[in-house]
Chain A
Amino acid sequence: MFFLSAVSDGKLTSLTSFFSLEFFIVFLPVCLIGYAVTPAKWKKYFLLVISYVFYWLISGKLLLYLAGITGAVYGFSLWIDRIQQKQKAALKDLKKEEKKQAKQVYIKKQRRVILFAVIADIGLLLVLKYSAFFLGNINALLAFAKLSFRFSIPDFLMPLGISFFTLQALSYVVDVYHGLTKADRNFLRLALFIGFFPQIVEGPICRYNQTAEKLWSVKQIEYKNLTLGLQRFLYGMMKKMVIADRMDPFVESVFSKYDTYQGGIIALAAVCYTAQLYADFSGSMDAVIGIAQVFGVEMPENFERPFFSRTISEFWQRWHITLGAWFRDYIFYPVTTADKMKKLTSSARKKIGNHYGPLLAGSVALFCVWICNGLWHGSAWNYIFFGMYHFVLILIGSLISPLVKKTNQKLHINSDSLPYRLFQTVRTVFLVIIGELFFRAEGLRNGFAMCRAIVTDLKFDSFDRDLLLRSQLGYKDFVLTAAVIGIVFVVSLINEKGIRIRETIAKKNIVVRWAFWYALIMFIIIFGAYGIGYAPVDPLYAQF
């Protein structure tokens, strides 16, 4: 795995996890104390320095990639800005029709710069992340055609978090081109926006307008932000250490040797992996958002209780929200609003109606989004399948929705009733778990074989032997994990009703407040999966 190569190139590998002792006992306190004692006007520079130190500690010399991408987008945005300034001056005294023509010339120039920026930014990502995959597949085709020529497969070191900060950096240049934000002449402010240490490994993928200015105007740590931020961090720690890391030995054992397990155990592993992935990624996001809150910076949310979704489409509006929003704004709408697509929508709507008309252009754009989504997660066929699986599900959902609506009306089914909503939610979770099985499987072939085993061999009678002995987990591990998942579910349910638990607890008296948070700390210390028998588990999304 490239991720492991990159990490081994660094100095303090455990720092990649926010919940490692190195991070939250050493790095974070040093960082907070250093920040607190730094004079107000220097705090932003301190954050920038500590962010680059953090990245150097986890990635060593690969830090140059981060600096290089920041430098590139800085240059491209200023180049676009210069063209926009010239455009403004040139168009000043022209009449409306002349303006339209002259504007096109400048837009063409800007588009050329954007093209260079995309080639530089995405090109680097393509070379580092995908060249081995593409060349490997070309070699397989050459072998199939019985040709002796082979490409040598490169083995690049992969900078940690490159898939996240590449998209964030590119969104900034595109936003400058669209006039949504002004080109930043302050290189250091841009560097902090792209390299802010909590978000660099796993996101969220922020827009320049969302966080750049907030990060650059940070002030002294406030008590309220400190406590609320650390509480959010603690909640994420519980998800990661009690649920995700505890499930890891079992999930790893089943997915790596699936052919020695019964179908029932494989199905259980798929469910556990889905819970693990959610607890791991959303737990890390709690940590990121919590740490940022300590500095007084509000980060965008990346999860909004995805397992309450009624459709797959809704699920993806609640899971990894910032990635979905990136694809929506920079792929889906640009594709659907291309001239040819708009003409297609307009004419198709007149022929096949309001629903199916726009679906033609929409499905082309959706295909682009999901192929990119699959590839973004990794350079392997199972990730491409994962993307296509969701594309097909969303497309089917759109195709049959008028039919479902009519059927419900005929059968007098209330689609807002609790049983119907529950049915939709359970169905969505089931489909998500199948998708995650392919996502985690070690190769597409293994994914299909695991599905086959679930269908043809859905037995649990080897539960004791397989599960308890081979993955070294006991019944109590499963009961405990299920109980904590129950806690997360109840918290999510309360949040879904619009009640903010941390704020509610903050209003209680000091004894209740501290008793609650001490209890949570003790809970993590007693029930967290660490120490003998547990290898530290790297954040799952960091490898993407």
Chain B
Amino acid sequence: MEELIEILEDIQPDIDYENCEDLIDGHHLDSLSILSLVAELEDAFDITIPAIEIIPANFNSAKSMMKMIERLQEEG
């Protein structure tokens, strides 16, 4: 989780990632930030994030992102 928060803060600082639950729906992260995020998460966690995973439910909070990362790691 710490690594994920670090990546997020590097891409878009000044957001309370621990508590924010509407990163996408609340327009805190725009589509360009998502593109950066996808590339960085893939490198950091050795996963592949397909286009279908880029939905608000997966990116609205750090927790939901972590869930997606763990699921993708599990699926291999």
B75 to chain A, nearest CB (A): 9
> Is B26 engaged at the interface, CB distance under 8 Å to the other chain?
no
Bound CA span A106–B76, Å: 15
Contact residue range for chain B?
10 to 19
Interchain CB contact under 8 A, B33 and A354 = yes
| Residues in A neighbouring B52, C-beta threshold 8 A | 178-180, 329
> Is A361 engaged at the interface, CB distance under 8 Å to the other chain?
yes
Interchain CB contact under 8 A, B76 and A346 = no
Interchain CB contact under 8 A, A100 and B35 = no
> Which B16-66 residues have a C-beta within 8 angstroms of A?
31-33, 35-36, 38-40, 42-43, 49-52, 54
Interface of A is mostly: helix
Bound CA span A226–B3, Å: 53
User: Known contacts being A329-B51, A334-B51, A337-B50, is A354 close to B39, with CB within 8 Å?
Assistant: no
Bound CA span A179–B75, Å: 13
> Is B11 engaged at the interface, CB distance under 8 Å to the other chain?
yes
Interchain CB contact under 8 A, B76 and A96 = yes
A-B CB contact pairs (8 Å), 14 listed? A100-B76, A179-B52, A329-B51, A329-B52, A336-B35, A337-B38, A337-B51, A346-B43, A349-B40, A354-B11, A354-B33, A355-B32, A359-B32, A362-B35
Interchain CB contact under 8 A, B36 and A357 = yes
| Residues in B neighbouring A345, C-beta threshold 8 A | 35-36, 38-39
Interchain CB contact under 8 A, B32 and A398 = yes
Interchain CB contact under 8 A, A358 and B54 = no
New A-B contacts (20) at CB < 8 Å, excluding given A342-B39, A358-B35:
A96-B76, A100-B76, A178-B50, A180-B52, A332-B31, A336-B35, A336-B38, A337-B38, A337-B49, A337-B50, A337-B51, A337-B54, A343-B39, A345-B35, A345-B39, A346-B40, A354-B12, A358-B32, A358-B36, A362-B32
B3 to chain A, nearest CB (A): 16
User: Known contacts being A178-B52, A354-B11, is A349 close to B39, with CB within 8 Å?
Assistant: yes
A344 to chain B, nearest CB (A): 9
Most buried by A among B40, B50, B52: B52
User: Interface size of A by Cβ–Cβ distance < 8 Å?
Assistant: 26
| Residues in B neighbouring A405, C-beta threshold 8 A | none
User: Known contacts being A178-B52, A342-B39, A354-B36, is A362 close to B76, with CB within 8 Å?
Assistant: no
Instruction: Annotate A321-339 by CB proximity to B: 1 below 8 A, 0 otherwise.
Output: 0000000010011101100
Bound CA span A345–B35, Å: 7
Interchain CB contact under 8 A, A361 and B35 = yes
Q: Which chain A residue lies CB-closest to B52? A: A178
> Is A99 engaged at the interface, CB distance under 8 Å to the other chain?
yes
Interchain CB contact under 8 A, B51 and A358 = no
A218 to chain B, nearest CB (A): 28
A88 to chain B, nearest CB (A): 13
Bound CA span A361–B43, Å: 17
Interchain CB contact under 8 A, A342 and B42 = yes
